[in-house]
Structure 1
Amino acid sequence: MSRQIEFTRPDGATAPGFYAEPEGQPNAPGIAVIQEWWGLNDQIKRVGKQWTDAGYRVLIPDLYRGDKALDAAEAEHKMDELDFTDAATQDVRGAIQYLKADSDSVGVIGFCMGGVLAVLAAMHVPETDVAVSWYGIPPDEAGDPSQIDIPLQCHFATEDTFFPIDQAEAFENKLKAAGVEHECYRYEAKHAFANEDWDNYDPEASHLAWQRSLDFFAKHLTP
């Protein structure tokens, strides 16, 4: 079952999203899936379906309010216009709260821009139980990684020009120094290697990262 919904943000405003749940499991663990810079398009809905097929309730908040980018220039423009603090503490938190109303445990996973927001959720959204970030690292001013007190898994690409690998190394060193429970993996691939609709798609790296994410959520989210 899947449908467009409106959910309530912590500030009382409403936000749109795409919701799906596995058949006959209205109280299954939840996962908030956070879009890339393209918007809530068919590709991210397919990602959400993967998680529904794996037995999780899914909510994808529509951060662009119905808009979608058709090329990289437009996507970058939309991402630059997004208020990341509002998106993390209101849209993403609202989505997690929505799932938490019927699920004992809720995780968050994001890709690219969504990967940044997944880490921000780990920092700033107390209802989050576990977080997974695919090739997304927040800037230093967005928060202190030592604040993270939930399990965090990160997937980095060694040939990423958006989030260079040395930036990923520095971020992981902060996690280690703070004693954050984490797993960080590196793939000989380019940015957005899991997006089958983009030129950088790497099926081998994508499959491995997916399996690791699946295992991580299975370990940390109550079945």
Structure 2
Amino acid sequence: MALRGVGVAVKTLASRTFTHPRALSASSSSSSRCRFQIRSMAGSATSELKKIQIQRDDITFDAYVVGKEGAPGIVVLQEWWGVDYEVKNHALKISQMDPGFKALIPDLYRGKVGLDVAEAQHLMDGLDWQGAVKDIRASVSWLKANGSQKVGVTGFCMGGALSIASSVLIPEVDAVVAFYGVPSSELADPAQAKAPVQAHFGELDNFVGFSDVTAAKSLEERLKSSGIPYEVHIYPGNGHAFLNTSPEAVKRRKGMGLTDEDSAAVELAWSRFQSWMSRYLRA
């Protein structure tokens, strides 16, 4: 089964079978709906993030912002888990990068967070992808209306795919950095990208058609034909979500069969992120 708007297949990770967005069977999806609960997760970064509300069309949604007033803005997009501790950690890290960015996380799930694969799957199943793009555009507009002359978009996994889609669908975006995620052609064709795109993938990522090496190389070919500046980086020996390094995230990754830990690759990826965003958001 394919994920509408992203597109991924069932894959085996470390001798254990997992599915990624929209690839669960009907029976397992049904069971997740029966037991799913809305939960919140408070991480160490939570207290440093300011909760705001953003309006788009006739909808108001929550977002979290941190960073220097007047600094270039970066919209930070969640993984399929939701706005949890790790995406907040990422936003805080981005805000503290020299010489400073203003990071904003739109809550695409409207307060819901999945604590296991089945819950995350259920949340992804219910996501309105076109609505998510509208949320991202409204977030970019909010940052530009509140002191950020230029605004980039970054994201992880599901958010990575949406980041690339934003380079195609949101003219106001000035730069994109995507981590391990590629949108399906139904959502956005990277060959039509209008903002510079940098993308990062793990060599051992097994989410076929979404963030594996084949997907990364296909993305590179599409970006090449777009004519915009781009970089696609593949990290040897690393799997999916390799940037998630907090103790909680490492435990969660290991529970999914993702046992790689590579601090040098993490440092390199963040360094490339910083260089890319600084180049295109401070010019």
Fold match (TM-score > 0.5): yes
The CA distance in 2 between the partners of 1:121 and 1:103, in whole Å, is 18
2:114 is equivalent to residue 69 of structure 1: yes
Where 1:133 maps in the other structure, the secondary structure is strand
Shift of 1:52: 1.2
Where 1:141 maps in the other structure, the secondary structure is coil
CA contact (8 A) 2:66 2:92 kept: yes
Question: Corresponding residue for 1:94?
Answer: 138
CA contact (8 A) 2:200 2:232 kept: yes
Structure 2 residue identity aligned to 1:17: A
Aligned ranges 1:1-223 → 2 under 5 Å:
2-9=49-56, 11-22=57-68, 26-54=69-97, 55-88=100-133, 90-101=134-145, 102-162=147-207, 163-188=211-236, 189-196=238-245, 197=249, 198-199=253-254, 200=258, 201-222=261-282
CA contact (8 A) 1:146 1:180 kept: no
The CA distance in 2 between the partners of 1:174 and 1:72, in whole Å, is 31
Structure 2 residue identity aligned to 1:40: V
Structure 1 residue identity aligned to 2:188: G
CA contact (8 A) 2:161 2:181 kept: yes
Mean Cα displacement is larger for which, 152-161 or 195-204? 195-204
Listed as ranges, the gaps of 5+ residues in structure 1 are: none
Structure 1 residue identity aligned to 2:139: A
The CA distance in 2 between the partners of 1:52 and 1:132, in whole Å, is 15
CA contact (8 A) 1:31 1:58 kept: yes
Structure 1 residue identity aligned to 2:55: T
The CA distance in 2 between the partners of 1:166 and 1:146, in whole Å, is 16
The CA distance in 2 between the partners of 1:142 and 1:202, in whole Å, is 32
Q: TM-score w.r.t. structure 1 length?
A: 0.93
Q: Deviations over 1:188-222 (max 9, x none)?
A: 21010111213335322211111100111111112
Shift of 1:111: 0.3
The CA distance in 2 between the partners of 1:17 and 1:33, in whole Å, is 10
Q: TM-score w.r.t. structure 2 length?
A: 0.74
Residue identity (%):
39
Structure 2 residue identity aligned to 1:50: K
Shift of 1:179: 2.0
Shift of 1:156: 1.1
Listed as ranges, the gaps of 5+ residues in structure 2 are: 1-47
Shift of 1:144: 2.1
Where 1:142 maps in the other structure, the secondary structure is coil
Shift of 1:80: 2.2
